[in-house]
Amino acid sequence: MFQWNLWSEKNKNMENTDNIKNTEEVEITTKKTGHGKTLPILALIIAIIFISAGTGAIFGFLASKDSAKIFSIFKNKGISELFSRKDASENNIIKQKIVQEDSAVIDVVKNSAPAVVSIVISRDVPKIQNFGNLPNFFGTPFEFYFGPQSGGTNDDLEGTRKQTIGGGTGFFITKDGMIVTNRHVVDDSSADYTVVTNDDKEYPAKVLAVDPNNDIAIIKIEGDNFTTLELGDSDSIQIGQTVVAIGNSLGEFSNTVSRGIISGLKRSLTAGDGRGQAEKLNNIIQTDAAINPGNSGGPLLNIDGQVIGVSVAIAQGAQNIGFAIPVNQVKKITEQVKKTGKISTPYLGVRYVLIDKALQKENDLPYNYGALVARGDKITDFAVMPGSPADKADLVENDIVLEIDGKKISAEDSENDLSSLISQYSVNDIITLKIWHTGVEKNIEVKLVEKNKS
């Protein structure tokens, strides 16, 4: 479950050639003049003189101070040190790169930390002893109650008391106090939410809007001139690139920093909170940066300090497997709330089952892709919602929605299932559906409306 030297050699040869020529000339001369014995003796004497002079020069150099210095280097430091200079230079370059990378991460943290907040969740609870709490999959702790401690009286147990029941993370997107977090962090309508900023100031928070299709919520506190984070582009991220996560780990250690890489992209999983609540998360980012319970709603940052994701879940029973919602899924929501103060979700109004090869074979369907319009288990789970855009476009049970604006609906690609494609549009957009209806393919136009409105 889920909760990156020819010159010298050449001249020697030339000298040898000259010597041969000179010798030949001497021998020819001796034959002509009749002095063949005297000249070879003279040549031998001259050769002995040159050899003696050369030997003296060599021993003279060995006795000099310069030669002593050279031999001292070889004796004291060794030949290896001469070759180690190159290795030392390469090591210095590597160290400089490491220092540069560390400096970049340090800068990201310094600039981003003031914009990251802790969210404290409190609620009136019965006056019974809280034996302990454990973090759930998402990061909002849930409590186990084991009754009063010994020595307590029944009077001590009457009524309720305000108690912290969980914690999460968020970050500022506007200077006047608008904060992004996860929906599951603030989904308790009976709870109170307090924002604690990086300078330990506390502010009561109001939930402005929650997204029913994504695990994103916008809350707000009163104030101004708060430090904000820049939203980056999650479509441009690559596996292996460095990321930094900041969050309220375990609900106790605010602004905890962890560093890692992007481990995977376009993951899909079902995440739960340990209390029976669960949701499907599509097209999310996987990272090995430690995302602990309490980090939910915190920013996942690139090396430029831009938000590329919102921490959302961790995998139970695993190490360094965390997930974040791509920031491009968040941008549209934040812009809507900034402009209108609410989240407007487009709505088609059908229940469906995604078709794959197995379902096609089992039900003898004409396609191995698309969304089969189908009713739910209950009698009230209509295949097409009465009064919905789908109803007005005359979609009926057992129709197959094949494409939306030319994009095939696929069970294998989480980006191209029906709900994901619909979520890319806005309220009042007109889309073209390619459907299969009673054995015939046809195109129909549908105007999307806001969810919960006909």
Q: Tell me which of 148 and 325 has the higher pLDDT.
A: 325
Phi/psi at 336 (5° precision) = -60, -45
How many other C-beta atoms are found inside a 10 Å radius of the C-beta of residue 282? 19
Least confident range of 40-49, 177-186, 293-302: 40-49
The pLDDT confidence band at residue 57, using thresholds 50, 70 and 90, is low
Q: Which of 327, 310, 343, 328 is nearest to 139 (CA)?
A: 310
How many other C-beta atoms are found inside a 10 Å radius of the C-beta of residue 411? 19
| Amino acid 226: pLDDT | 96
d(CA 141, CA 3): 13
- Describe the chain by its helix, strand, coil percentages, rounded to 5: 30, 30, 35
Q: Which residues, in sequence order, are CB contacts of 322 under 8 Å at separation 6+?
A: 245, 286, 287, 288, 289, 290, 291, 295, 311, 313, 314, 315
Supply the CATH classification number for the domain 346-450: 2.30.42.10
274 pLDDT more than 70: no
Supply the CATH classification number for the domain 114-149+157-220: 2.40.10.10
d(CA 177, CA 172): 6
Phi/psi at 276 (5° precision) = 95, -10
Catalytic residues: 184, 215, 296
| Amino acid 339: pLDDT | 87
Least confident range of 225-229, 250-254, 421-425: 250-254
Mean pLDDT estimate for the chain: 77
181 pLDDT more than 50: yes
137 pLDDT more than 80: no
Runs of H (alpha helix) within 373-442: 389-392, 418-423
Q: Tell me which of 306 and 59 has the higher pLDDT.
A: 306
Least confident range of 107-116, 121-130, 272-281: 272-281
SS3 92: helix
Q: Tell me which of 74 and 424 has the higher pLDDT.
A: 424
Q: CA distances (Å), 94 to each of 90, 100, 137, 249, 285, in order?
A: 6, 10, 40, 33, 30
Q: Which of 210, 149, 158, 162 is nearest to 185 (CA)?
A: 210
pTM score of the predicted model:
0.66
Whether the domain at 114-149+157-220 and the domain at 346-450 fall into the same CATH topology: no
389 pLDDT more than 90: yes
32 pLDDT more than 50: no
pLDDT digits (tens, 9 = 90+) for 409-449: 988 776 678 888 888 888 899 999 999 999 999 999 999 99
119 pLDDT more than 60: yes
172 forms beta bridges with: 179
Q: How many residues does the chain have?
A: 454
Q: Which CATH superfamily is domain 234-338 in?
A: Trypsin-like serine proteases (2.40.10.10)
The pLDDT confidence band at residue 90, using thresholds 50, 70 and 90, is low
140 pLDDT more than 60: no
| Amino acid 102: pLDDT | 79
Q: Domain ranges in the chain?
A: 114-149+157-220, 234-338, 346-450
392-405 average pLDDT score: 94
pLDDT digits (tens, 9 = 90+) for 192-222: 999 999 999 999 999 999 987 789 999 999 9
Max avg pLDDT among 147-151, 274-278, 374-378? 374-378
The single-letter code of the amino acid at 346 is: P
The pLDDT confidence band at residue 227, using thresholds 50, 70 and 90, is very high
Least confident range of 43-57, 142-156, 366-380: 142-156
